[in-house]
Amino acid sequence: MDQHAPDRDRAASLQDPQDPPSYRPSDRFWPYVDLPEQPTDEELATLDPDLRQALFETPRLRFSMTIVFPRFDGPDYPRAVELARGSAEYRETGSGPAFRHRARFWARDMTQLRALWALVGDLPVTDVLVDDRPVPFARELWLPLAWFLVS
């Protein structure tokens, strides 16, 4: 007696074209149908630099420091945005309360970075990124060190 006979009978009944399936998946099976094929600028801005380099095979960028700050009320805001737009690379990310200005400065632009920092450095949500990475003591150590070495 064949031990696999019940399995063959079961497989034959599953493949029988006369039996309609008891479950039919919806045509809208995948919930993310309308996603764009290319990442948005916001998504690219938040990518880890190592992941960006691996995905897009971009060469490593030279040393940079980035100031990320939100909208704020005050007479210095228009000047801060003007300085940020004059940076080597400027992006606006987010919307509403999550809106941020991202201004990247190369080593040769540290005087402009210092001027921008004087305007937005007191905001508690202002971030400093070194080579697009948040690093410990960026505000307290890296910024003054960069200003000292460049000046």
Beta strands in 24-150 (DSSP E): 64-69, 89-93, 100-106, 127-130, 133-134
Hey, what are 17's tokens?
A: 């074209």
Which range, 53-57, 89-93, 117-121, is most confident? 117-121
Structural domains in the chain, CATH included, are 42-150 (3.30.70)
Sheet of 100-106: strand order equals: 89-93, 100-106, 64-69, 127-130, 133-134
Vertex 143: Cα angle to 98 and 60 (nearest 5)? 75
pLDDT > 70: percent of the chain: 70
pLDDT per position as a tens digit, 69-101: 999 999 999 999 999 999 998 989 888 999 999
Pairs from 38-42 (Cβ < 8 Å, separation ≥ 24)? 41/91, 41/93, 42/93, 42/94
Give the CA-trace dihedral at 130, 148, 87, 123, to 10 degrees. 70
pLDDT of 8 > 60? The answer is no
Chain mean pLDDT for the chain: 80
Tell me phi and psi for residue 67, to 5 degrees: -105, 130
- Provide the whole-model pTM: 0.64
Give the pLDDT score at 17: 60
Strand partners, 129: 66, 134
Give the CA count within 13 Å in the CB-facing half-sphere of 44: 10
Give the pLDDT score at 59: 67
| Nearest C-alpha neighbor of 127 from the set 52, 61, 46, 51 | 46
